[in-house]
Amino acid sequence: MLDHLDFIEARGCWRLAAHISVLKEMGWPIERIDVPSPTNDDHGRVIALYHLPGKYVALAQDLKGGTHAGH
């Protein structure tokens, strides 16, 4: 799972939704999970977590030339 803060820490970028959009347009089956995250100012606040099924993570690592568990 990946959220906006994880993305900022890993990539130093604020544009997670833009990257997710591009990957979805390319056909990657990224799942979005909306999680309630209320604050004092916004009781209805929801944040998105993104998930890519494991077999696609492995495929992406193979395409990048990386390794993953099971190889």
Q: Summarize pLDDT for 34-46 with one digit per residue, the tens.
A: 999 999 999 999 9
Least confident of 9-18, 20-29, 36-45: 9-18
Residue 51 confidence (pLDDT): 92
Give the residue-averaged pLDDT of 8-34. 88
**Helices (H), strands (E): how many in the chain?**
3, 2
Q: Would you say 39 and 18 are in contact if contact means Cβ atoms under 8 Å apart?
A: no
Res 5 pLDDT > 60: yes
pTM confidence score: 0.67
With a pLDDT cut of 90, the percent of the chain lying above it is 44
Q: Would you say 52 and 28 are in contact if contact means Cβ atoms under 8 Å apart?
A: yes
